[in-house]
Structures are given as C-alpha cells and as structure tokens.
Chain A
Amino acid sequence: MTLSHIIPAPRNILLSHYYYLKRDIDRLGGACRIVADSGAYTARYQGVTVTTKQLALWTKHWEQNLAWVACLDIAHPDTSRTRTNWLKMVNDHQLPAVSTLHAGDRPDEMDWYAEQGVDFLGIGGVAGANLTAAAKWHWLTSVFKYAQDNHPQMRFHGWGMTGSDVVKLPFWSADSSGWGNAYRYGRVTFRDPFSNKDISLALDGKAVFKHPELMHMLRDGYGVTPKQIAKAGPHNRDLLVRLSALSASVYEQRWRYMYRNRPVEAPKWGRLKGWNFGDDPGPHIHLVDGYNPHCRIVADMANEYWRDRES
C-alpha cells in the first residue's frame, strides 16, 4: 500500500551480504534498485570473517537483482589491502566491484583506480569515526576537490553519510540507516513535502497532537492521520516503516532538487546485471535495514509506485 500520492516511494536499498547471506533477494526485486556491501565490519565483531570468495559467489548468485556491489575494504591506512581485495573481485571473479577510499586516505589514491578504468568509488570511514567535524569536512572536500581537478568523471557513494553538510557535496549516492529511528526508537522526523520544514517528535501518544501544522502534512503529504501514528508499537510498526521510508524519500527529493541544474551523471563502472538505474542521474539515497521484512515493505512500496509510472 503506497500511502502518499505526493511523495515518490523510495526505491533504493543497500543490503549487507553478511545479513542477507541466506535471504531470498528475489523477493525484493522489481522496481527496487538494490546495491550491496560485504557487511564484513559487523561480521568481524560477531566473530565471523567474510571472504572475497564468499562475497563474489553470493553476488553472482543474485547478480540479476544487484545494481552494484562493493568489495571488501580495509580501513585507513591499509589502502593496499583494499586494492588487493578489489583486484580479486575484478580479476578472479570478473565482478566490477566498487572500492572505497577511507577517511584519512590520500585523495590521490583514486589515481590508481582511475587508471584501471574505474569511475565509481565509495567514501567511507567517516560516519561514526572519532573525527572532528572540521577534520571530516577537510578530508571530504579535499577528495571532491581532487576528483574535480583530476578525475571529473569520478562518482562517489557516501557510506553512511546523508547529513545536511554532506549533501552539499556531489555524491552520486549515499546510504542511511537513520531512517528507521521511528520504528526502532519511537522517534520520527517528518519532512514536509510542501516546504523545507521538518518536525521531529517522540511517538509517545501525545506529542503528535501538539503540532497543528503536522496534521496537514500527515494527511495531505503522507496520507495518514495523527491518531494512526500517535504512539509507536507493534500495532503500527509496518505503517511507521512506510512513513519513515517516505520521510527519507522527501529528504532524497530535496537533495535531488538541489542538484536539478547540476545532475550527477551515473557512473559506468560497477554495473552488474541487475543495474536498473539506467542513466538516471544522482544523487540517490539507499535505505539500509538488516531486518528483511522492513526491506520488503520498501520493495513493495517501490513496486506499487514505480511500476505503474514506468510501464
């Protein structure tokens, strides 16, 4: 059930191989644009090692559904090990995997990838790192500055980066797990599709009724009434997943609006058999959730909304 006729349904998902090792990804297919990373960082904390071979075989198994996949990457400053993993994906497994520059890596690390014909890299190690805002911003802008001056064809995916400062940078895509705060923590940010206004509130049974302007936004923008979502609980969990996805979609639309006169063209590198972006320019935001039913809700929304429009 698509709730809103005003807000486009989200259609971009990021899956982690580790979480979806045994999941049926065919069930997420269709209008959804699915990309994948290894999930190796999380796996390591659970005592599990993800290997390139495992990631590659899994990618090939689901390649019809995957738009692109990231290789196993190693945090700064081990760029050579990231290169080794990338080469294994490309040469041993014939998969055009997407590699990653990590916070602190020299921007000219992208030279080596550009020489291999790559025009698409991830940028990681920024979200959740112990970096000061100034250090983070200096490094990020230096990477984009270097790309602009030396490899203007290079496109970037921002791992876990969708903050209001980050969206000033011309990422082709990024991903966010923060969109799920409503159903995880009972706290939600509704982004107004009619303006740039956001309303954040706790779904505690009361707060939603204290925002008169929210009623219009919810009813006309999101297609629900305040009463339906006043208190978060199992009874409305699926509904909150849908609303959270729509709110993330508003955020994505604002980002795309910012770049409407300077669209970020799609990269050529990384395209797997399941590439269904066409040449749709960025930026795009991919929603992340390790819990399969939530991704299926997003996939259902995407299928209902986009299939009609694209057929």
Chain B
Amino acid sequence: MPTQFIEQREVPTADLKPHPDNPNRGSVDDLAISLEEFGQYRSIVALTDGTILAGHHLVEAAKRLKIPTMRVDFVECDDRTARKILLADNRLADLGLGPSLDLLLKNLSELDGDIIGTGFDDDYISMLEEAVSGPPEIDDMFEEAEETPAKPEDFHRRLTILLDPRFITRWEAIRKMYDTDNQAFASLLGEDDIPPLDEDDDDDDEVDVSAFGSETDDE
C-alpha cells in the first residue's frame, strides 16, 4: 500500500520517537556536525503519532544539540508499509555501484578543504586522489629506481646443492683463487668462461599432431 502524505510541519524534537524495530545504526557524531554546519536540509519522515520512519539519527543528533524543533513530513501507512520503508530507507542507498570516484573528488576538491559536515576527511580525500589520479609517470618511477640501480650480479641465480663436507672445503679453497663465483665454477668445469648451453630445441623430431585435442576426459 502506498503512503499517504498528510502534511509538513515543524514539531518539537522531543515529540519524535524512534521506531522500536529500527535496525539502522547511523553515525550520530557525523550527523551532529552536519546539522550544525548546514541546518536541517531534509525533512524527517514520520507517522502522524510521531514514530520516525526515516531520519532516526538526525533526530538523535538534534536532541544532542538541543535543537528544539524539526521539520517533519507526516505520512500515513499501514504497519507493514512502515516496516518496509524503515528497511528501504537505508538499504536502497547501499545498492548500486556507489558514487563516481571522479565526480566525488571533483566536488570535494572544489571545496578547497572546507569539508566540514560532508562526512569526508583529509585521509579519505588522499585515498580518493590516489585511486583517481592514474598511474605515475614512467620518468618519475625510473628516476626513483635509479637511486638503487640493479647490478649485473643481481640477475645471477642461486644454486643450492647438497655435498659431502670435504667438497665444501675444496670449493672454498678454489673460490679464494678467483674473484667471482662464476670464474671459480668455470674452472671446475675446465672452462675459461661460461660455456654455451647445448642446443636442445630439436626441430627434426617428428610431432604427433593427431594427439592435439585427443583427450576429452577432463581429468
């Protein structure tokens, strides 16, 4: 059943009472700041007996600030509809993709730091700026990376092998004779330098093309 609008009226804040089953948990602190900054820019929605359907925490904030009256849109509806409005009031705002980050930042930026009452803070704006700003310039990243440049040996691979301890002693003796691990290891192989790898990409081998796609079993 749709609601029926009765009237809009300024009423004593104390006359407004929360719905006993209101599940929503708003931030009264933030709403109080907003109320101080902007005043009441949106009406409370309540049944004619003063039971709030939308705007619970704004009323709570007003009571905390000792604001004597509030503007209320009074409506009439059955209990079931009242309960559905109670649920919809917060839930519907949560659905969808949320705000456009670009437009959110644009609006916040145009306030030049005067963001009191919006519910946003400087940390949030920094996070937004990071999300919206796009990637850093390659030149900047490279310049920063140049402060700790990579050395050729950074790209060598580590070899871990399990040996009889006597080999370790021998290796350490050989290692002392050379400037680098590579030179010492090459000497063990009887080479002056790093030997080339054997060619193992043998394209003369026959390829069984009938095997392609031959397995239909997923396992």
Contacts and interface: CB of A to CB of B under 8 A. Distances in A.
B158 A130 contact: yes
A22 B145 contact: no
Nearest to B204: A53
A111 B198 CA distance: 27
A61 B213 contact: yes
Nearest to A137: B145
Given A25-B213, A51-B203, A78-B197, A194 B142 contact: no
Contacts of B197: 74, 78, 81
Contacts of B209: 57-58, 61
Contacts of B205: 51, 53-54
A53 B207 contact: yes
Contacts of B135: 167-170, 258-259, 262
B149 interface: yes
Interface in B121-171: 127, 131, 134-136, 138-139, 141-142, 145-146, 148-152, 154-155, 157-158
A6 B97 contact: yes
A138 to B, nearest CB: 4
B138 A169 contact: yes
A220 B94 contact: yes
Given A135-B150, A170-B135, A49 B201 contact: yes
B134 A135 contact: no
Contact of A168 (B141, B152, B213): B141
A8 B151 CA distance: 42
What band does the interface of chain A fall in when counting residues whose beta carbon is under 8 Å from B? 35 or more
A72 B186 CA distance: 27
Interface in B182-219: 197, 200-203, 205, 207, 209, 211-216, 218
Interface stretch (A140-148, A173-181, A236-244): A140-148
Interface residues of B, number: 39
B149 A138 contact: yes
A116 interface: no
B177 interface: no
A205 interface: no
Nearest to A216: B94
B215 A24 contact: yes
A78 B142 CA distance: 25
Contacts of B2: none
B95 interface: yes
Nearest to A78: B197
A104 interface: yes
A130 B157 contact: yes
A26 B213 contact: yes
Interface in A1-31: 6, 21-26
B148 A148 contact: no
Contact of A54 (B146, B151, B207, B215): B207
Contacts of A78: 197
A306 interface: no
Interface string A58-98: 10011000000000101011100100010010001000000
B113 interface: no
A72 B134 CA distance: 34
B150 A49 contact: no
Interface of B: 94-95, 97-98, 127, 131, 134-136, 138-139, 141-142, 145-146, 148-152, 154-155, 157-158, 197, 200-203, 205, 207, 209, 211-216, 218
Given A144-B138, A196-B131, A261-B134, 19 more contacts: A24-B213, A24-B216, A51-B207, A61-B213, A62-B213, A78-B197, A88-B203, A135-B148, A139-B150, A141-B142, A141-B145, A142-B145, A145-B139, A148-B139, A168-B135, A169-B138, A170-B138, A194-B98, A292-B218
Interface of A: 6, 21-26, 49, 51-54, 57-58, 61-62, 72, 74, 76-78, 81, 85, 88, 92, 103-104, 125, 129-132, 134-139, 141-142, 144-145, 148, 167-170, 193-196, 216, 220, 257-262, 292-293, 296
11 contacts: A24-B216, A78-B197, A104-B154, A130-B157, A130-B158, A137-B141, A139-B150, A141-B138, A194-B97, A257-B131, A260-B134
